[in-house]
Amino acid sequence: MDYAATGEQAQTRIDAASELDALEQLRVEFMGKQGSISGLLKTLGALSADERQIVGPQIHALRESVSAALAERKQALESAALAEQLARDTLDLTLPAPEAPRGSIHPVSQVMDELAEIFADLGFAVATGPEIEDDWHNFTALNIPESHPARAMHDTFYFPEHNDAQSGTTQHNASRMLLRTHTSPVQIRSMLEHGAPLRIIAPGRVYRSDSDATHTPMFHQVEGLVIDKGIHLGHLKWTLETFLKAFFEREDIVLRLRPSYFPFTEPSVEVDVGFALVGSKRVLGGSGDAPGHGWMELLGSGMVNRKVIAAGGLDPDEWQGFAFGVGVDRLAMLKYGMDDLRAFFDGDVRWLAHYGFSPFDVPTLSAGVGTAA
């Protein structure tokens, strides 16, 4: 058999395929279980050892060449289809503005307003802090040791170290600047500024070196902090249950606390929320242990570590507290049915038109915090 001629014929037919469906049919014809090249491979078992040494490499070379031709043609067809779609699917942002405004509130902004409304009803104030932090506020004051992986360059965006021109000294590690990796430094700044008792939430942007469907280099987080006398885990669980019931507008929210570890809390707990499977979709609510139900990890929390309270200028023998943190973007995804975090930052006006909120839809507990536009 002339394997070279067979390969040339296959190449000609592959090059002539003008659609992905036609190319897939050729792939099945050549490379499928009942394909012609797959059939040639099956004939090797009936050959003698000497014949296999001669014929085997030729068949394998044919298989590799056809496989490469299929992959190359598929990439070309997909690229052409994408180029055609991009040329056709355009957005003309230069058109005259409509008579009625069509702008919408971004889901992240809406959820932050919802959080502020819910926690204001619980007596929490909203606190903010700088997004460019120093090492001491972001790590050391939060009891994060020097060897902790969170300090590594691959997790944290550090600014270049600089030398003091007058003294000739290098910038001290405690004052080294970085993009904050969480909003927890606001806890330290608030304790130092306001003392205790204290009840705050700290929403804002944070930065970590990560990017995929559920992670982005910049995302939004909200931290909660309560400092008072006689605070215990029961207060934490009640606060979180009350918050989640109001946010998801369901009374059947059930939480489960699991022991965990965070440097700035002791004891530390991961908080899971029960969900029910409706088809392939997870719907929060109900017991996670019932048939057809499960538990979803939602946030981290715990009792504030004594060292963190001391770093905030307070006496840990007198004051206790709890803290929790959760991603604002993740809350929005769970509540409003979004499946890709990256879309939050693409600026696609079609996505914003679909998931955005009316400027007049101000979240209130009486009217419902999450009525979509």
Residue 68: count other Cβ atoms within 10 Å of its Cβ. Answer: 12
pLDDT of residue 228 exceeding 60, the answer is yes
pLDDT of residue 363 exceeding 90, the answer is no
18 or 367: which leads in pLDDT: 18
Number of H helices, E strands in the chain: 11, 10
- 161 pLDDT tier (thresholds 50, 70, 90): confident
- 124 pLDDT tier (thresholds 50, 70, 90): very high
Q: What is the DSSP letter of 149?
A: G
pLDDT of residue 169: 45
pLDDT of residue 283: 78
CA 344 to chain centre: 10
Cβ–Cβ under 8 Å, residues 239 and 299: no
Give the whole-number percent of the chain exceeding pLDDT 90: 31
Q: What is the mean pLDDT of residues 78-84?
A: 89
Cβ–Cβ under 8 Å, residues 162 and 171: yes
- 372 pLDDT tier (thresholds 50, 70, 90): very low
Report the SS3 class of residue 255. Answer: strand
pLDDT of residue 167 exceeding 60, the answer is no
pLDDT of residue 61: 85
**pLDDT tens, 179-205?**
998 999 999 999 999 998 999 999 999
pTM of model > 0.85 = no
pLDDT of residue 373: 40
pLDDT of residue 97: 66
pLDDT averaged over every residue in the chain: 83
280 or 144: which leads in pLDDT: 144
- 27 pLDDT tier (thresholds 50, 70, 90): confident
Q: Which two tokens stand for residue 365?
A: 């507990």
**Amino acid (one-letter) located at 222:** V
pLDDT of residue 365 exceeding 60, the answer is yes
Q: Which two tokens stand for residue 366?
A: 């009486």
CA 241 to chain centre: 23
pLDDT of residue 41: 78
pLDDT of residue 352: 84
Give the whole-number percent of the chain exceeding pLDDT 70: 87
Q: End-to-end alpha-carbon separation of the chain, Å?
A: 68
pLDDT of residue 315: 95
pLDDT of residue 164 exceeding 80, the answer is no
